[in-house]
A = this chain, B = another copy of it.
């Protein structure tokens, strides 16, 4: 094969780009290193020149994919126009949630929209790794807010560390579960939207209760934007049922 030399960073990104595409297409486990290098147009050895193993590739993938959201959130937490240390814990938490939601809407196509494939059994390890990464990055942003709220009495919380853990679990795990249930009934679009919104409300309500704030403190307005977003999410979900076209040249 014709030898083409490129900047290491460029080549590495190429590998990651194609790996991401293939992972979302056939799944991470099913994607063989042979297939990956074939599509990139390099030899197998080149892959192992850049990544020590296939699972190292997974972590790199998760890092790159998962960091984009948090670099945004962490940067925003420092910005002067965002509620700072002087703001109430409620305001800060509201802002955090809003910033997170805004990012998700903004990057829908290149991130959130392709979420549903992560839920195929195939991608369990990838999903778990991604969520773990997100969790580790979320914790240090949320814990200070809960601590502040506990100290100034805004929140009724006895154990800020443990409560933060509960919040993280609500957002990621319960959200996860709500999502899976919604997908399970994806035959009916209207039921999908209704169930997803009900899940969001339940998680929010649980968060309010756990923090000891009045019901409604963090409840989002169920406006058309949110409805439309969930609707779009649904439309990104259906093609999951498509027949697989995996068999390709050997």
Q: Which residues of A contact B (CB under 8 A)?
A: 124-125, 128, 158-159, 161-163, 165-166, 168-170, 173-174, 176-178, 181, 198-199, 201-203, 205-206, 209-210, 212
Contact = CB atoms under 8 A, between A and B. Distances in A.
A162 B212 contact: no
A contact patch SS: helix
Contact of A201 (B162, B168, B169, B174): B162
Contact of A128 (B124, B181, B199): B124
Copies in the complex: 2
A121 to B, nearest CB: 8
Contact of A170 (B128, B166, B181, B201): B166
A178 B173 CA distance: 13
B124 A166 contact: no
30 contacts: A124-B125, A124-B128, A125-B125, A158-B205, A159-B201, A159-B202, A161-B198, A162-B198, A162-B199, A162-B201, A163-B202, A163-B206, A165-B177, A165-B178, A165-B181, A165-B199, A165-B202, A166-B174, A168-B177, A169-B170, A169-B173, A169-B174, A169-B177, A173-B174, A173-B176, A173-B177, A206-B206, A206-B209, A209-B212, A210-B210
